[in-house]
Structure 1
Amino acid sequence: MSINKFATFSVAILASTYSVQAQDINQAKKAVDAEQFESAKSILKSIIKDKPSNGNAYFTLGTIYLNQNVQDSAKIFFEKGLSASDNGKLNNIGLGQIDLDKNDVSAAQAKFALATKDVKKKDIQEYIYIARAYMNADKPDYKNALTILNKAVAVNAQDAQLQLALGDAYYGDGKQNEAYVAYRSAFQADNSLLRAKMQLGVLLKGAKSYDEALKAYNEVIAINPNYGPVYRELAETYYKIARNKPSQASANYKTAIGYYDKYMSLTDYSIHSRMRRADFLILVEDYVALEAEANKMSELDKVNPRIYRYLGYAAYKNGNVDVAIKSLENFINAPGNKPIALDYLYLGLTKIKKGTSADGATIDPVAFQAGLVDVKKAIEMEPLAVQDLTEVGKKMFTQKLYNEAAAIFEFGANTKESASFLDDNVYYGLANYYANINKGKDVKVDTVALQKADAAFEKVLVASPTYLEAYLYRARTNRLLDKDDVMVKNYEDYVAKTTELGPDELAKPAVKTKIIECYNNMAASFANTDKPKAIEYFKKTLAIDPTNSYATESIKILK
C-alpha cells in the first residue's frame, strides 16, 4: 500500500519554526499531524487574515487543499503566498507539485529551483518540502525525493523531520530496511514524533507481520491514546488480517470499522474525512454503511461529484440498479473528474444487471453489450479488474447463460497476471463448449467459439498439468469440430495420464465412466477407416463394462 498523501503531508510542515504567530502556527502544525485538517485550515486562515505576510501559512493551507484534491483552491493560496514577505518563496514548491501532477517535470523543477535559491547553508526545510512534493504527486517519484533529501543529509543528517521524510521515501521506493533505520532514527532524535514510531508499525504491516504491527501501534497509543492517525493504521491492519484470514473476515472487518470510527472521532467529520471513511467502507465491503455515509455526505455537499461514486458503488452492491447507473454516469461525466477502472466496471455490470430478468434466466442482448463496453474500458485502464468478473461469470454459467458467461470470462482468460487466470480459462472453455453442445441438428456449431474453448483448455493444461478433465473437454470440443485425429489424441492423453495415477484411481466409478467415453468415441472415429482398431477399443470398453450395449452392438456391426 502506498503512503497516504495526507500522512506524508501531515508531517511536512513540522520541519520549520517561526517566532511570529508561534502559538497559532504550532496549533496548525499539531492539527495537521493529527490529521485534523479542517481545524488546521481554520487556524491557518486566521493567521493569514491577521498576518498576510506569513508565506508559510499560505503554503501549508495550499498543501492541505492540494492533498484533498481541491487543486483550484490550492493554486489560489500558493499564488497569493508568493508575494508574502516572510518565506513566500515556499509557495513555489506547492505550485511545483501542481506541475508534477500535470506531468510537467521541467516546470516543477524550475519552481523548485526558485524555492531553494539563496537558501542559507544550514537550511534543509525547503529540501524536505520538495522531496514531499515528489512523494505526494499523482505519480510519486521516490527516487527523485531521495536525491533531494540526500542533499539535506549532507547538511544535518540528525534532523528528525529529515529522517522521517527519508523513511517515507525509502518505504515508497520499496527499501524496507533503510526505511526502518530512518524511522527509528527519527524517533530517537525526537521522541515526541509519534508518526515516526507509528511508521515502524506500517512497515511491519507491509511485511505482513500483523501481530508485530499491532504491537507497534499499541506502543504509540500507550504514549498518546488520542493520537488519531494510529487508529487509522489499526483499521487498515485489521482489514489486511481479514483479507488473509477469510474464515474470520467478518469479525476483523467489524474491528477495523470500529478503529476507523475511532480515528474519525479524533480527527474531524468534514466532507473530506467522510470521503476517506467511505473509501475504507468500500475496502471492507460494507455497502449498507457506505450508502448511509454517501447520503450524509450529499447533505453536507450536494454538488460534490465524488459523492456520486459512493452512491453508485453502494447502489450497485445493494441492488438499486437505476440509482447506480444514474450516480456512476453523473460521476464519470462530471467535468474535472478522474474516473478509475472500478467506476466503469460497476457501471457496466449494473447495466448488465438491469438487463437481466428477475429469475436470472435471460439477459437483454442490447443491455448486455452496452455493459460490456464499460467493462472493457475498465480492463483497459486496469487489467487486473478481470479478477472482479470471475464470480459474475460463474453466476451466469450456473444460470446456463453460456454465451454471456463466455464473453465475461474471455477478459480474464487472456490476462496471465490475474490470480483468476486458471479459473477463468476453465470456465471460458466450458462456457463456449456448453453453448454449442445442445444445438439442434439443423443449427451449425460456432466454430470460432469452439476453437477458443480448445485453446482455453490447452492453456489450463499448461498452467495446471494435473487437471485431467481438460483433456476430456478438449476431446469433446474437437469432436464437435469434427477433428477426429485431435479428439483421439486428447482421449488417449486422458487415458494415459489417468492410468499413471494407479489402479485405485481407475477403480473409481466416475473415472470408469470417463474411460468408457474415451474408448467408445475413439472406436467410433476408426469405424470407417480402421475396423480392427475400432473393435479393439470397443473390447477395451467391454473389459470395463461387459454390459455396455453401444460397444456390444457396434462390434456386431463392424464384424
Structure 2
Amino acid sequence: MKMNKLNTTKMNNFKILSVALFASASVVNAQDINEAKKQIDAEQYQKAKTSLKSIIKSNPSEGKAFFLLGNIYLNQSVIDSASITYNDGLKAKNDAHFNQIGLGQIDLEKKDVASAKAKFDIAKNQARKKDFEEYVYIAKAYMNNSNPDYKAALAALELAKERNAAEPQVLLALGDAHYGDKNQNEAFSAYRNAFQADNSLIRAKVQLGVLLKGAKAYKEAVAAYNEVIALSPNYGPVYRELAETYYYWALNVPGRYDEYIKQALSYYEKYMTMTDYSLASRMRHADFLILAKDYKALEVEANKMKELDKVNPRILRYLGYAAYENGHIDEAISSLKQFIDNPNNKVISLDYLYLGQAKIKKGTSADGSTIDPVLFAEGTELIKKAVELEKSIAVDLGDLGKELYGKKLYKEAAAIFEIAVTDPESKNYLLDNFYLGTSIYFANGTLPEGQKADPIALQKADTALGNLITGSPSTLDAYIYRARVNSLADKPAMMIQYYEEFIKVATAAGAEELAKPSTKAKLTEAYNTIAANSDKEKAKEYYAKTLEIDPANKFATQSLQSLK
C-alpha cells in the first residue's frame, strides 16, 4: 500500500515537473519569436531567418515561426521557399493556422482573391475570441502584395479593433492601411496613437516622417527622422527613410541635386551597416543605386552579389544595367539577354529598356554617323515592350532620342520619339512631340534628289506639332515647323494657315519678341512663302511686309519687281 502511494506521489511530481518544463519552454519560444519579430521590424532579415530556423529546428511545433520565416521569403520575392515554409507550418501543433494567411498572400500575388479569402477565413475561424493578431496579419497580406487592396485591409482591421482597439500593433497597421488608402489625416492619428500607446514601437514614429516625405515636406521629414535617431540611434529603417527622403528632395531641388544625392547614398550605407549585408539587402541597395544613378557603385555591388550567389538571376539585371551605363555594351547585352530569356524570371520594363538601348548603342558606328538597321529595329522593339509594360517609362526616352537627333540620325530619332509620346502624362510629352515633329521634318527634308517624302510620316509630324500647339499655344517654333511640314507634304492651304498663325502669335508676343533676329528671319520666311502662294495683290502686301523688317531681302525685292 505504501509502495503504491509512493509511486502515485512520484507520478504526480513528474507530471507537475513536465508541465513546468513545458510552460518554461513555451515562454522561451515566445521570447525567441518576439526577438525574431523585432529583428524583422528592424529589417535585419538575415538575423531573423537564422533565429526562426533555430526555433523551428529546436521546436517544430511552433507554427508562428514557420509563418514569420515564410513572410521573410515572401518579402524577398522567394515565393517557392515561402510556399514550402507555410505548408510545413500547417503541420505544426501550435498556431499552424497563421500559415493559411501566408498562403493566402501568395494567392493574392496570383490575383486569386477568392482562394486567398477562403484561407483567411480558415485562419479567422481558428482564432480565439479575443485574438487580434490574425486580423492584423490578414490586413498586412492585403497591403503587402503586388496588387494591394487597402479597403480590404481596413475591413480586417475593423475586426481587430473589435477585439483590442487600443493594441499598438493594430493602430500601426491602421496607419499603414490609411496611408495606402491616401487618407493622410487618419494615418497620422493612427501612427501617433500607436507610438503614444507604446513608445518602444519606433516604426510608428518613423512613419510620421514618412507622411511628411509623401507631402514633399522634406525638411520637416528629416527633422522627424532625427527625433527618431535621438530616441533609437540603432534603428536601421530610419536611415533608409532618410536616404529616400534626400533622394526625392534632390529631384525636387535640381540646384542641390549632387549634395542631396550624396547625403542619400551616405544614409543608405548607414542603413546597410545597421541591418545586414545579405544578398536580399544588397539587392535592395542595388535598386536604390539605380534610382540614384550611381552606376559605378552598382557595378561594385553587383559583383559582390555575384560572389555571394552566382546563380541568382536578378544579379544579371544589375550587372546589365551597370555595364550599359559604364560603357560595357557587350556585357550589358549578354547579361540582360540571359536574364530576359529565362522564362522563370519576372521581367520588368527597365530590363527591356536597357537591352533595347544597348542594342542600339551596339549598332551605332564609332563616329556616330550610321546605325545598323537590324540592331536598331531589334532595339526599338524592345523599347516598345518596355513602354507597353510600364507607360511611365516613356519619360526616359528623351535622352536617347536627343542623342540620335544631335547626330543628325533623324529617322532613328523619330522612331524613338514616336514611342516616347505614347504617354500623354509624361512630363516631357510636349518636348518629345516637338522633337518627333522636327525629326520627321528633317528626315524628309534632306532626302536625295528624286526620293519622295513619306506622307504617313509627315502626317505624324503634323499631329505631333499639333499636340505641342494644344499644350503650349505660345510656342512659336511649333507653328513654323508645322507650316514647313505641310509644305513638304504638298498641302499649300495648310502651310499658309500655319504661317499665318505663326505671324499672329509672334505679333501678340510683343515688340521684344519681334526684335529678335531669329524671329525676324522666321517672319521673313512666312511672309515670302505666303506671298509666293497667293494672288497678285496679297503677294504685293506680304512682300512689302518682308521689306519692312529686311529691306535688303533679294527674293522679296525681285518678286515685287516681277509683279509690276
2:225 counterpart residue number: 217
Q: Please say which of residues 369-378 and 65-74 is displaced more in the overlay.
A: 65-74
Pair 1:43 & 2:51 matched:
yes
Question: How far is the alpha carbon of 1:524 from its aligned partner?
Answer: 1.0
2:301 counterpart residue number: 293
Distance 2:177 2:233 in 1: 27
User: Which residue identity does 2:136 align to in structure 1?
Assistant: I
1:558 counterpart residue number: 563
1:539 counterpart residue number: 544
Residue 270 of structure 2, aligned match among 244, 262, 281: 262
Q: Please say which of residues 116-125 and 269-278 is displaced more in the overlay.
A: 116-125
1:11 counterpart residue number: none
2:415 counterpart residue number: 407
Question: How far is the alpha carbon of 1:525 from its aligned partner?
Answer: 1.0
The C-alpha deviation readout for 1:425-473, integer Å capped at 9, x for no partner, is 0000000001111224422112222221111111111100100121111
The C-alpha deviation readout for 1:74-122, integer Å capped at 9, x for no partner, is 1111111111111111111111111111111111111111111142221
Distance 2:264 2:340 in 1: 30
Question: How far is the alpha carbon of 1:155 from its aligned partner?
Answer: 2.0
1:309 counterpart residue number: 317
Contact 2:103 2:116 in 1 (8 A): yes
Contact 2:332 2:355 in 1 (8 A): yes
1:97 counterpart residue number: 105
Distance 1:141 1:503 in 2: 57
Distance 2:505 2:197 in 1: 65
Residue 438 of structure 1, aligned match among 419, 443, 446: 446
The C-alpha deviation readout for 1:299-349, integer Å capped at 9, x for no partner, is 100000000000011011111111111111111122421111111011101
What percent identity do the matched residue pairs reach?
59
Larger-Rg structure: 2
Pair 1:25 & 2:33 matched:
yes
3-state SS in 1 of match to 2:543: helix
Contact 2:97 2:126 in 1 (8 A): no
Q: Please say which of residues 349-358 and 329-338 is displaced more in the overlay.
A: 329-338
Distance 2:512 2:51 in 1: 78
Distance 1:210 1:303 in 2: 40
Please, what TM-score do these two structures have when normalized by structure 2? 0.94
Residue 507 of structure 2, aligned match among 491, 499, 503: 499
Question: How far is the alpha carbon of 1:20 from its aligned partner?
Answer: 4.5
Question: How far is the alpha carbon of 1:213 from its aligned partner?
Answer: 0.8
Pair 1:248 & 2:253 matched:
no
1:190 counterpart residue number: 198
The C-alpha deviation readout for 1:277-310, integer Å capped at 9, x for no partner, is 1111111000000001000000100000000000
Please, what TM-score do these two structures have when normalized by structure 1? 0.94
Distance 2:54 2:42 in 1: 19
User: Which residue identity does 2:476 align to in structure 1?
Assistant: L
Question: How far is the alpha carbon of 1:18 from its aligned partner?
Answer: 6.2
3-state SS in 2 of match to 1:128: helix
Show the 5 A alignment for 1:321-336. Answer: 321-336=329-344
1:463 counterpart residue number: 471
Contact 2:468 2:478 in 1 (8 A): yes
Q: How many residues align?
A: 540
RMSD value, Cα: 1.4
Unaligned runs of 5+ in 1: 1-16
Show the 5 A alignment for 1:68-217. Answer: 68-217=76-225
Distance 1:306 1:425 in 2: 35
Residue 340 of structure 1, aligned match among 348, 366, 375: 348
The C-alpha deviation readout for 1:39-91, integer Å capped at 9, x for no partner, is 11111111111111111111111111111111111111111111111111111
Distance 1:46 1:543 in 2: 91
2:388 counterpart residue number: 380
Higher relative contact order (CA closer than 8 Å, sequence separation 6+) = 1
Distance 1:152 1:224 in 2: 29
Moved over 4 A (4+): none
